[in-house]
Structure 1
């Protein structure tokens, strides 16, 4: 006949504890890894959004007839490019530079125009309750350069 196990025998019996330890350790390691992948995907999306916005803004700027039309087209191009990646234009900052200075002088033949777009990408899964809106954002910047055509007829 079998004798009943004592309390010390039950404590020493480790059958089934390996699977429990594996599941616990797996979850402890898996959760941060999944968050890291999600965060890196969000940052990559923000980087692609900034790059596309800068490229399109530079292209539409150099093809405009005048400076007012160029500024409106740049705003629209940046808004569309960022909206494709789920980012708002409120988090973006656009800077347009050229060798001739600013304004109408940028739209001269053979002028080189540089457009820089800075976007603040929010980290995923950060609740609004913590009031970490500015701390839970990563700035991403992209620059694009275009030359105004030497056949440009705007002047």
Structure 2
């Protein structure tokens, strides 16, 4: 009868394999989880950026004196807001819509829609692939002040 310190011939070939199996399984399970968290955080950052950019661009537009300078201010605010969230301005498209025929007529409103394409994480962008994980949109509407 073998004692506790003796190793049986059947168990001799399995020494140390638990560590290797644990490391292999941990790597196989951890890599997709980390990739999913990266993708989710990029989509969430784009959602926050879209809301902030739409709201701030609409406010910049309605406080301008003329539509041309308002459009330029809205584009500058859009680029600044996207950079604050770690995004390049090239991934976003903005659409400005006015409710009145002269765009900044007192009492009318200005609507700004922002669409941000979220790229697939860790995919090289220079290869010509146009892959986006999601497109996040946000719309903000601001009234033009009646009395300046």
> TM-score higher than 0.5 here?
yes
SS of alignment partner, residue 146 of structure 1: strand
Q: Unpaired runs of 5+ in structure 1?
A: 1-8
Equivalent position SS for 1:150:
coil
Q: Once the 2 structures are TM-superposed, how far is the Cα of residue 78 of structure 1 from its aligned partner?
A: 0.6
CA contact (8 A) 2:117 2:132 kept: no
Cα distance in 2 for residues equivalent to 1:95 and 1:129: 27
Which is further off, 73-82 or 12-21?
Answer: 12-21
Note the C-alpha offset of 1:10: 6.0
User: Aligned-residue CA RMSD in angstroms?
Assistant: 2.1
Give SS of 1:86's match.
Answer: coil
- Kindly tell me: are residues 116 and 136 of structure 1, through their superposed partners in 2, closer, same or farther at Cα, counting changes over 3 Å? closer
Shift of 1:142: 1.2
Match for residue 142 of structure 1? 138
Structure 2 match to 1:30:
30
Note if contact 1:126-1:136 (Cα within 8 Å) is conserved in structure 2: no
Structure 1 runs, 4 residues or longer, greater than 6 Å off: none
Q: How big is each residue's C-alpha offset from its partner over 1:130-155, in whole Å with a ceiling of 9 and x where there is no partner?
A: 642x1245321111111111213xxx
Q: Is the 8 A contact 1:96 1:115 kept in 2?
A: yes
Report the TM-score when normalising by structure 2: 0.83
